[in-house]
Amino acid sequence: MKKAAAGLEKTFDVTAEQIAEWDEMVVRGDIPGVPVGEVVVGRPLKFGEHLKLVGFKETELKIEQMDERANSLGMRRSDYLRWLVDRDLAAAGVA
């Protein structure tokens, strides 16, 4: 904790005492500020459309390969898989 606090002190110009005080406040549930609205969990709608989960199981090796390929393209795994599906549907003329 001390190492992390020291990094925060330097990065955000706060003291260890301020960090400890804020930590105690949050643990007590005393969070300053005004609530800004309901907390909504999950990914936001894309283009105003509702989303459904699509999933499948794959071997660990293939998942590692997918992740490596996605990373090489600057993507996350989910974005990479969406990109592949979009390309295939476009090639098939259905999207």
In this predicted structure, what is the pLDDT of residue 64?
97
Residue with tokens 């949050």: 26
Distances (CA, A) of 95 to 21, 49, 53, 86, 89: 55, 16, 19, 7, 5
Is the pTM for the entire model greater than 0.85? no
Report the pLDDT averaged over residues 1-23.
Answer: 78
Rounded mean pLDDT, 20-28: 87
User: Measured on CA atoms in the order 91, 92, 93, 94, is the torsion positive or negative?
Assistant: negative
Q: Which residue has the higher pLDDT, 75 or 45?
A: 75
Taking Cα atoms as reference points, which of 52, 56, 76, 51 lies closest to residue 66? 76
Mean pLDDT of 33-46: 72
> What average pLDDT is seen over the chain?
85
Closest CA to 80 of 93, 59, 94, 62: 62
Q: What is the pLDDT of residue 43?
A: 64
Query: 59: pLDDT confidence band, cut at 50, 70 and 90?
Result: very high
